[in-house]
């Protein structure tokens, strides 16, 4: 019988080909599973990290969550010590292990989650550019109308079929609830988009940002975006924004006694898809 561990971590995604393992490429999942197998002194094939949301190549995370089922008989001792061993074995500062803990009963990193929160940062022509933030901020050559962008966002929120914003995946649903979407400017004029949803299909967040940018540039109107959304077909009317500006900020879960029921409910609604 295995024991499930919850792992909270963050990463700078610039040098990685996304979360999911890909042959011959450096990925977050591959690096983490290799480090865990070494730190636990167990067979590499017995370690699989199941993540709350599979981020694309170049996307960052301040707080990602995954779980790992450790095979019976594998000893790890103190979990704080294990965290330090895994961090040391990673041999990189691009991945930070925040915490390793025993997962509560019924916990599934992906299906138990209530919501995911992402942020997207944009410097436009009116912003004061900070070179220290270059790795996680997109530079727009255009002035963006954040008031128009927020007007769009307010009308996008809610339960919808987001096929216009997602890369199609056979057998997967594109129905999601967009819980919150808004844009703010900081003191330097940098735009930050906050996007919260129960889950996201492949490329959905960066496509939502692309639609807002198109409205902010006045190349698309709000009614045009809403009509394309309601058409429920993948569109090229706006760009899927570059990965570098996108960061997973947090993953929210229900109380421990609701984890199992939340996972069952989510599985019933969703096919094999990428969050």
**DSSP character string of 192-252:** EEEEEES---TTHHHHHHHHHHHHHTTSS-HHHHHHHHHHTS---SSPPPPGGGEEEEEEE
Given this model, what pLDDT does residue 274 score? 44
- What is the percent of the chain with per-residue pLDDT over 70, rounded to a whole number? 98
The tokens describing 167, both together, are 């890369």
* Rounded CA separation 186/193 (Å): 11
Whether the predicted model's global pTM rises above the 0.75 cut: yes
Nearest to 68 by CA among 27, 111, 37: 37
CATH 3.30.70.660: does it fit domain 115-264?
A: yes
In CATH, the number for domain 3-102 is 3.30.70.580
pLDDT, tens digit, 9 for 90 and up, residues 150-177: 999 999 999 999 999 998 777 788 999 9
Q: What is the mean pLDDT of residues 9-29?
A: 97
Give the least confident one: 66-75, 198-207, 263-272: 263-272
In the chain, ranges of CATH 3.30.70.660 domains? 115-264
In the chain, ranges of CATH 3.30.70.580 domains? 3-102
* Rounded CA separation 94/90 (Å): 9
Given this model, what pLDDT does residue 167 score? 85
**Is residue 265 annotated as a catalytic residue, yes or no?**
no
- Determine which one of 8, 56, 123, 146 is catalytic: 56
Q: What are phi and psi of 180, to 5 degrees?
A: -160, 140
List of residues 6+ apart from 30 with CB closer than 8 A:
21, 22
């Amino acid at each position: 019988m295995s024991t499930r561990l919850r792992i909270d971590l963050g990463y700078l995604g610039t040098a990685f080909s996304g979360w999911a393992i890909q042959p011959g490429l450096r990925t977050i999942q591959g690096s983490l599973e290799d480090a865990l197998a070494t730190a636990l002194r167990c067979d590499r094939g017995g370690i699989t990290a199941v993540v709350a949301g599979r981020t694309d190549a170049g996307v960052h995370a301040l707080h990602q969550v995954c779980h790992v089922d450790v095979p019976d008989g594998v000893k790890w001792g103190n979990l704080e010590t294990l965290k330090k061993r895994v961090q040391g074995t990673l041999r990189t500062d691009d991945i930070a292990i925040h915490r390793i803990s025993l997962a509560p009963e019924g916990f599934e990193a992906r299906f138990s989650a209530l919501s995911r929160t992402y942020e997207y940062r944009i410097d436009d022509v009116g912003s004061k550019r900070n070179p220290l933030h270059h790795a996680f901020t997109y530079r727009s050559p255009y002035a963006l109308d954040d008031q128009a962008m927020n007007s769009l966002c307010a009308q996008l929120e809610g339960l919808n079929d987001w096929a216009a914003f997602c890369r199609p995946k056979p057998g997967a649903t594109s129905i999601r609830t967009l819980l919150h979407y808004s844009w703010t400017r900081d003191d330097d004029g940098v735009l930050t988009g906050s996007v919260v949803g129960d889950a996201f299909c492949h490329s959905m967040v960066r496509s939502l940002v692309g639609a807002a940018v198109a409205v902010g540039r006045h190349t698309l109107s709000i009614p045009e975006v809403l009509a394309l959304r309601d058409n429920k077909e993948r569109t090229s009317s706006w760009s899927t924004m570059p990965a570098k500006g996108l960061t997973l900020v947090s993953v929210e879960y229900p109380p421990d006694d609701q984890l199992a029921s939340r996972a069952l409910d989510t599985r019933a609604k969703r096919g094999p898809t990428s969050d």
